[in-house]
Amino acid sequence: MTIHIHRLAGCRPTPLALYLKALGILRIVAEQADPQCRGWWQDEQFCLMTKLSKKEIEAFFLSGYEPTPCISPWNKGAGFFQENDKGLAPIESSVASRFEPLRFAIQQAREPLDEISDADAIIRSIKACTKTNRAFQSPEQRVRWCRERGQRVSYFCLDSNWLGVR
């Protein structure tokens, strides 16, 4: 078996992002391609010792690497709040089996976000009406507006918040 030592010039010990990139590469290669690989810092560069040649590492990251399904749906820039986000859409529409865990995590994250988005739309609609309609400022108007539109709002909560308003 041939051992290859790769000097990764783009992985330096500083700044922190480049340091973490090197650790990520080491973790991914060790978990998914070569459990015997080793890594160290030398002359401000990360060195990776592995049985994989340069071409094999490139092929692994292009077609064999299975991304860790780590997502942050609450982060506005994560792509969950836009339709056809350029980061999430290609993964969601992909049929590659290596993306299955990531697709599943995205699907699981979308379910509660859809419910939150529905509630947020109701709240924004109510706020828009209160800004433009002076009569809507009264509790009676708010309750009537929600009831007329059949919004998914607990009528019991509405009624208990404004006792006597029916």
Residues 61 and 1 in one domain: yes
Q: What is the pLDDT of residues 138-153, one digit of tens each?
A: 777 767 767 776 655 5
Last residue of a domain, one of 9, 38, 65: 65
Residues 54 and 91 in one domain: no
Q: What is the pLDDT of residues 42-70, one digit of tens each?
A: 999 999 999 999 999 999 999 999 999 88
Residues 54 and 96 in one domain: no
Residues 79 and 94 in one domain: yes
- Please tell me the distance from the alpha carbon of residue 146 to that of residue 166, in angstroms, as a whole number: 12
State the residue range of the domain holding 144.
133-166
Q: Of 11-15, 92-96, 116-120, which gets the smallest average pLDDT?
A: 116-120
Question: With 50 as the cut, is the pLDDT of residue 165 above it?
Answer: no
SS3 breakdown of the chain: % helix, strand, coil, rounded to 5? 55, 10, 35
Residues 115 and 137 in one domain: no
Residues 10 and 27 in one domain: yes
- Output the pLDDT for position 111: 81
Question: Percent of the chain beyond pLDDT 90?
Answer: 49
Query: Number of structural domains, the chain?
Result: 3
Residues 72 and 100 in one domain: yes
Residues 5 and 58 in one domain: yes
Q: Of 12-26, 49-63, 108-122, which gets the smallest average pLDDT?
A: 108-122
- Please tell me the distance from the alpha carbon of residue 164 to that of residue 98, in angstroms, as a whole number: 59
User: Phi and psi at residue 28, in whole multiples of 5°?
Assistant: -65, -45
Mean pLDDT estimate for the chain: 84
